[in-house]
Structure 1
Amino acid sequence: MKAYVFPGQGAQFVGMGKDLYDSSPVAKELFEKANEILGFRITDLMFAGTDEDLKQTKVTQPAIFLHSVILAKVLGNDFKPEMVAGHSLGEFSALVAAGALSFEDGLRLVSARAMAMQKACELQPSTMAAVLGLDDSKVEEICASVDEIVVAANYNCPGQLVISGSVKGIDIACERLKEAGAKRALKLAVSGAFHSPLMEPARQELEAAINATPFNKPVCPIYQNVTAKPTSSPEEIKKNLVAQLTTPVRWTQTVQNMIADGATEFVELGPGNVLQGLIKKVNKDIAAESKQSL
């Protein structure tokens, strides 16, 4: 069984998607439609902007979504997913690629999500940190011992977990994690505490937008971040998408469940190859490749 997976924030690079735009009339039309919907030429920033341009949340999230989704659309009949999943933002790409959301609605939601997250970040100084070399349960225990908001945010692969919370809380947790034997506990260059309770204002804002958007049954099951389990129910998909902003991305468990349910090959669609690497760390024997262009 073939599983398609879609990357999240951090996978962006200058030049992303340009070869699709140049080589496919379908891609060009979709990129131009995206420029119209967003009200600015995101293609200029994607193809020839700077790293700083691409780091703006209002640009990063739609840019990664567009690269992933347009690639899936251009693949046409060659894109036949039997299961899909996406890492954080990538879940929206997966839903559009699998037909649960229209391209236009998916882009509007991603843009609304990016703006809502940016606003939530500005309300309170917060950050994230990558923790390497400790069991998940130990990391969870140490986060719970800190008298600030600090939670596990991304279960990326065995021995790699990202934590999220207040700046003070993350600083304290990083010290305690190193004392407990973590190989690394390193703060990330992000604008806020994604997938933590500090994203509650963004969750409320996104919930209204999601509830106002029509969802269809996808062509195959989607394994969602919140549960790591498959669903094809539009109502369940919406509920999990809303919850995703304040709860962890269970990527390790998602990949394990997809393999247990029969996935024999993973294809990562969109910028970068981060997910392919994480999948190999979850199960070194599974076939995984990344595809950025035709």
Structure 2
Amino acid sequence: MKHAFVFPGQGAQFPGMGKHFYENSSFSKKIIEQANEILGFRISDVMFEGSEEDLKQTRITQPAIFLHSIIAFKSIDMGRPDMVAGHSLGEFSALVANGTLSFEDGLKLVSLRAQAMQQACEQQPSTMAAVLGLADEKVEEICAQVAQQTGEVVVPANYNCPGQLVISGSVKGIEEACVQLKAAGAKRAVVLPVGGAFHSPLMEPARQQLQAAIESTNFHQPSCAVYQNVVAKGVVNREEIKQNLIDQLTGAVRWTQCVQAMIGDGASRFTEVGPGKVLQGLVQKINKEVTTEGVG
């Protein structure tokens, strides 16, 4: 039986996140204060006292979730993971968990990634939509069709679980895709309240910024494989890990395929480490036979 640790991405944040760690553990308090120093502002104040709206700002959300996840990981005693994975932003948490990145370098990269994504969102109006109840292949086909018809960017972005796929692109492209997806039988095709087209070609300016930072960061030899979003397989080669992390900003999050690959490689127990329970639900929808639990 192999034990997989999985780490959540944007959307898992909640007001008061991390506060119980800060108040009940001197070790956690030290890490949070270190994060405040690295970031140059007191993110802990926003995490503990901020509203849902405050926490929705990408430049806050991403480092806050990363910080909460790493504290949760360092607070548990479950032995070393046999494999790790993270959903989008969560991939950075996973890389700290398996020793590829130091906490400090991980936080710096996450902060830069968040700011670069925020800037890319501001450059061009764009959005995402959740599509429920349609086969992945049909969603892919309609995205390609709409892109060809309109000249707009429309791509599959998050393969969350069977029957749940998030698409990403220009506002016009996504609106047209939703009309066609509903006509093709989707139970729902709903535009999401997000500030931009994450995991699409519209994130190219952010990808370029992140690439320079990743290439100049020291990546260590991982203690176990990380199942990366863009390739959906276990990776241990440091140069491959770097490239996949760079490609992730404009590429799809193949979460369904990552979980299936982990199960195929022997994972039967999945522990979600960090805020929320989203990934536990997705893993169960992908395969009901495995055990899931959460820490954080």
Corresponding letter in the other structure for 2:237: S
Identity over aligned pairs, percent: 68
Q: Aligned letter for 1:46?
A: M
Q: Counterparts in 2 of 1:6-155, with a 5 A limit?
A: 6-75=7-76, 77-146=77-146, 147=150, 148-155=152-159
Tell me how far 1:242 sits from its aligned partner. Answer: 0.2
- Comparing 105-114 with 40-49, greater Cα deviation is found at 40-49
Unmatched segments (≥5 aa) in structure 1: none
Q: Distance in 2 between matches of 1:79 and 1:17?
A: 22
SS of aligned partner of 2:85 = strand
- Residue from 172, 178, 182 that aligns with 1:174: 178
For residue 156 of structure 1, give the secondary structure of its aligned residue in structure 2. Answer: strand
Residue 97 of structure 1 and its aligned partner are, at CA, apart by 1.2
Secondary structure of the structure 2 residue equivalent to 1:165 = strand
Confirm or deny: 8 A CA contact 1:267 1:291 kept in the other structure: yes
Equivalent-residue separation in structure 2 for 1:162 and 1:10 (angstroms): 13
- C-alpha displacement of 1:71: 1.2
Using the size of structure 2 for normalisation, the TM-score is 0.97
Structure 2 stretches of 5 or more lacking a match?
none
Match of 1:244 in 2: 248
**Contact 1:130/1:185, CA 8 A, preserved across alignment:** yes
User: Any conservation in 2 of the 1:20–1:28 contact (CA below 8 Å)?
Assistant: yes
Q: What residue identity is the alignment partner of 1:61?
A: Q
TM-superposed deviation, 1:26: 1.1
Q: How many residues align?
A: 291
Letter in 2 for 1:179: A
Alignment partners' CA distance in 1, 2:232 and 2:294: 21
Letter in structure 2 aligned against 1:24: S
Residue 290 (structure 1) shift: 1.4
Find the residue that maps to 1:195 and give its secondary structure. coil
1:10-44 CA-partner distances (Å, limit 9, x unpaired): 00001111111111111110000000001111111
Find the aligned partners of 1:73 and 1:271 in 2 and give their Cα distance: 14
Q: For residue 74 of structure 1, report the CA deviation from its aligned partner.
A: 2.1
Q: Secondary structure at the match of 1:143?
A: helix
Q: What's the offset of the Cα at 1:70?
A: 1.3
Distance 1:23 1:79 in 2: 22
Aligned-partner Cα distance in 1 for 2:64–2:107: 10
Distance 2:279 2:137 in 1: 22
Aligned counterparts of 1:216 and 1:70: Cα–Cα separation in 2: 20
CA–CA distance in structure 1, aligned partners of residues 13 and 83 of structure 2: 24
- Superimposed CA distance per residue, residues 263-290 of structure 1 (whole angstroms, 9 cap, x where no aligned partner): 0100000000000000000001110111
C-alpha distance in 2 between matches for 1:191 and 1:153: 15
Letter of the 2:208 partner, please give it. Answer: Q
Q: Within 1, Cα distance between the matches of 2:254 and 2:79?
A: 25
Query: TM-score, normalization: structure 1?
Result: 0.98
1:238-277 equivalent positions in 2, closer than 5 A: 238-277=242-281
Compute the displacement of 1:78 (Å).
Answer: 2.8
Give the partner amino acid of 1:226.
Answer: V
> Partners of 1:212 and 1:74 in 2: how far apart?
30
RMSD of aligned alpha carbons: 0.7
Q: How far did residue 254 of structure 1 move?
A: 0.3
The separation in 2 between residues aligned to 1:260 and 1:121, in whole angstroms, is 37
Does residue 279 (structure 1) correspond to residue 280 (structure 2)? The answer is: no
**Alpha-carbon offset, residue 94 of structure 1:** 0.3
Contact 1:72 1:79 in 2 (8 A): no
Q: Is the aligned partner of 1:185 residue 2:189?
A: yes
Structure 1 residues 38-74: Cα deviation after superposition (integer angstroms, max 9, x where no partner): 1111111111111111011110000000000111112
User: Equivalents in 1 of 2:79, 2:142: separation in Å?
Assistant: 43
Secondary structure of residue in 1 paired with 2:115: helix
Work out the CA distance in 1 between the residues paired with 2:19 and 2:6. 21
TM superposition outliers: structure 1 runs of 4+ over 6 Å:
none
Amino acid at match of 2:133: G
1:234 equivalent in alignment to 2:238: yes
Distance (whole Å) between structure 2 residues aligned to residue 14 and residue 163 of structure 1: 27
Give the conservation status (yes or no) of the 8 Å contact 1:5–1:267.
yes
